[in-house]
């Protein structure tokens, strides 16, 4: 049994930089036709010059792979229209992080208020530049995304022509917001479709499943599954694949992030097959994203076969999700 995917896309990807970039970027570029690259480096990407330099390093690291790295800027409230007009041809979106809420987000926004952000958001709306948001408050960790729903509502109402992508949603409340506001969209990760908090901390702590936003309850996972398996037109796959060295994951200060890039398509295919939804996987991993972003990725056909795939223990110094496990689907060919 085989299935072919046309130009699969990852609409939320962390490639890091330097030696880590050289390890992980080729893994995504081999399998995916394109990805939206996150800007939370140290320091974050806030200028066109820095962005283009980073893009050059990505392109160099992936060699001849047919892969489009779609770049983003780190949100700042004082970007003016002139800067954004010049930046538009270099970027696909701008990513907003609440200050200190996740990896390398210390320079993010404190107290997200539509009025105080109007200069940048108004110009983005006029210029058709999407806003990507890591949507969490500073409240109790299990409630952070739910609490942030009020902010999404404020942003959607204040800027109705601004395309807003709720990144890596994890709750049933976020799923409902898609129906309330025409300009809200969402990415969903592989790991949030598969795990709950019980998988992370219900028994022995599983550091390689620890991420932010943290995995939630079974009913939240079910809400995400419904959206993904029916390939709801306002959702798309975004891995939020976030590599950290094994030493940073298996430590007293465990870094947040699940590394899924090289096993995502195999695991997603198994998930969709188990739910008799293989006819919807193409839309979830590519077609919806092309429509939402208006992008045309490089042509790439990835054919998967129902053949056991033993996940490596590690890729360089990074441990993947399902390390040393056997998945039911493997990649047969890439054309």
Q: Which two tokens stand for residue 305?
A: 């076969």
- 185 vs 195: CA distance, rounded Å: 22
Residue found by looking up tokens 């839309």 in the block: 283
Angle at 212 between CA 129 and CA 140, to 5 degrees: 110
Q: What share of the chain is helix, strand, coil (3-state, %, to 5)?
A: 40, 15, 45
- 30 vs 246: CA distance, rounded Å: 23
**Domains within the chain, CATH numbers bracketed:** 8-296 (3.20.20.140)
> What's phi and psi for 96, nearest 5 deg?
-100, 125
pLDDT at 111: 79
Q: Kindly state the greatest CA–CA separation across the chain.
A: 54
pLDDT at 294: 97
Look at residue 234 and give its three-state secondary structure.
coil
Q: Is the overall model pTM greater than 0.95, yes or no?
A: yes
With a CB cutoff of 8 Å and minimum separation 6, the contacts of 112 are: 96, 98, 151, 155
Low-confidence ranges of the chain (pLDDT < 70): none
With a CB cutoff of 8 Å and minimum separation 6, the contacts of 93 are: 36, 70, 72, 129, 130, 131, 132, 165, 293
- 291 vs 87: CA distance, rounded Å: 22
**240 given a catalytic annotation:** yes
Alpha helix segments (H runs only) across 69-211: 81-87, 118-127, 144-158, 172-180, 190-194, 197-201
Residue found by looking up tokens 């009025």 in the block: 115
> What's phi and psi for 5, nearest 5 deg?
-110, 130
pLDDT at 21: 98
pLDDT at 110: 81
The neighbour count for residue 122, using CB atoms within 10 Å, is 16
pLDDT at 112: 85
Sign of the Cα torsion 180, 296, 239, 16 reads: negative
Length of the chain counted residue by residue: 335
The pairing of strands 164-166 and 301-305 is unpaired
pLDDT at 75: 96
Q: Order of strands, edge to edge, in the sheet holding 9-13?
A: 9-13, 34-37, 68-70
- Per DSSP, 98 falls in state B
- Active-site pick, 240, 279, 313, 335: 240
pLDDT at 100: 81
């Amino acid at each position: 049994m085989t299935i072919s995917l046309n130009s699969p896309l990852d609409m939320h990807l962390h490639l890091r930089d330097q030696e880590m970039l050289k390890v992980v970027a080729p893994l995504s570029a081999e399998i995916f036709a394109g990805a939206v690259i996150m800007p939370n480096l140290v320091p974050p990407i806030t200028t066109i010059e820095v962005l283009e330099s980073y893009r050059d390093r990505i392109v160099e690291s992936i060699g001849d792979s047919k892969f489009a790295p779609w770049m983003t800027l780190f949100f700042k409230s004082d970007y003016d229209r002139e800067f954004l007009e010049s930046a538009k041809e270099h970027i696909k979106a701008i990513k907003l992080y609440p200050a200190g809420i996740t990896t390398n987000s210390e320079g993010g926004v404190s107290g997200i208020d539509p009025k105080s952000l109007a200069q940048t958001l108004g110009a983005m709306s006029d210029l058709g530049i999407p806003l990507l948001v890591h949507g969490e408050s500073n409240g109790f960790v299990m409630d952070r995304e739910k609490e942030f729903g009020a902010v999404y509502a404020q942003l959607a109402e204040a800027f109705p022509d601004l395309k807003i992508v709720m990144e890596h949603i994890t709750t049933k409340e976020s799923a409902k917001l898609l129906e309330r506001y025409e300009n809200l969209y969402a990415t969903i990760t592989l790991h949030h479709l598969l795990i709950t908090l019980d998988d992370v901390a219900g028994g022995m702590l599983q550091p390689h499943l620890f991420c932010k936003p943290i995995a939630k309850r079974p009913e939240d996972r079910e809400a995400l599954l419904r959206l993904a398996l029916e390939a709801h037109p306002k959702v798309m796959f975004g891995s939020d694949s976030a590599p950290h060295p094994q030493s940073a994951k298996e430590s007293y200060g465990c870094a947040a992030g699940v590394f899924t890039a090289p096993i995502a398509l195999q695991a997603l295919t198994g998930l969709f097959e188990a739910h008799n939804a293989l006819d919807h996987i193409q839309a979830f991993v590519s077609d919806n994203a092309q429509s939402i972003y208006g992008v045309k990725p490089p042509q790439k056909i990835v054919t998967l076969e129902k053949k056991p795939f033993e996940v490596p223990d590690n890729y360089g110094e990074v441990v993947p999700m399902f390390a040393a496990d056997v998945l039911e689907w493997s990649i047969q060919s890439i054309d």
